[in-house]
């Protein structure tokens, strides 16, 4: 059985754990750097990217996460997690992890009260996936090795680059586990 970690510093951790377990994989809430050695893939959940970054700095996660990525282990960033993975963030000089060759813009769909749900066609996942957008970022541009998986009203909202997967929405806030299943499949392929 593959072990999927959920970075447990801040954000929608429990919901991701529930989704991973619903897909038949083992979920591990990662709160210590040492736990990275025991997992096959990692989800960086939605939450507040600046707060998450502060906690990643405080608990010494930045370099170990880059090391985890350099070992070829898959990582999936949802909402704030997408911002954490991105190489460029509009209006900021420095990225957080800078692993995925994408440029993201924070809160590009408006504030909390402008949250919404939308039906998305996600390549390789589903034609009718309900995306939950809460203060969501979007992907402004992608590098040549990035595969765009979904768009909404002309904006890129899901993409994959090799072992990295990112989306603007919260797949864990629905009972549709197909996006999580897609990531678990990525992890299984890498393990084989």
Stated pTM of the model: 0.95
- Tokens 């209006």, located at residue: 91
Feature table: binding site: 47-49, 106, 134-135
Residues of the chain with pLDDT under 50: none
- pLDDT, residue 131, reads 93
How distant is the alpha carbon of residue 70 from its chain centre?
A: 17
Whether CATH 3.40.190.10 fits 3-191: no
pLDDT on residue 60: 96
167 belongs to the catalytic site: no
Catalytic residue among 79, 96, 138, 167: 79
Per-residue pLDDT, 11:
82
Q: Model confidence over 74-103: pLDDT tens digits?
A: 999 999 999 999 999 999 999 999 999 999
Between CA 41 and CA 74 the distance in angstroms is 5
The whole-angstrom separation of Cα 142 and Cα 38 is 31
∠ CA(51), CA(107), CA(28), 5° rounding? 45
Helix (H) / strand (E) containing 43 = strand 41-44
pLDDT confidence of residue 113:
63
Domains of the chain, residue spans = 3-191
DSSP state of 57: H
């Amino acid at each position: 059985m593959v072990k999927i970690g959920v970075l447990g510093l801040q954000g929608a951790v429990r919901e991701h754990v529930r989704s991973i377990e619903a897909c038949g994989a083992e979920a591990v809430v990662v709160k210590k750097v040492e736990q990275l050695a025991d997992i096959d893939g990692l989800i960086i959940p939605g939450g507040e990217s600046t707060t998450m970054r502060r906690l990643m700095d405080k608990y010494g996660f930045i370099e170990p996460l880059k090391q985890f990525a350099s070992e070829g282990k898959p990582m999936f960033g949802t909402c704030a997690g997408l911002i954490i993975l991105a190489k460029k963030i509009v209006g900021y000089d420095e990225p957080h992890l800078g692993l995925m060759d994408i440029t993201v813009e924070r809160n590009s769909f408006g504030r909390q009260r402008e949250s919404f749900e939308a039906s998305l066609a996600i390549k390789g996942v589903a034609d009718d996936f309900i995306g939950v957008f809460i203060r969501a970022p979007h992907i402004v541009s992608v590098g040549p090795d990035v595969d765009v998986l979904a768009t909404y009203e002309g904006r890129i909202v899901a993409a994959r680059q090799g072992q990295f997967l990112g989306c603007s929405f919260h797949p864990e806030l629905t009972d549709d586990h197909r996006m999580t299943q897609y990531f678990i499949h990525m992890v299984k392929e890498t393990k084989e």
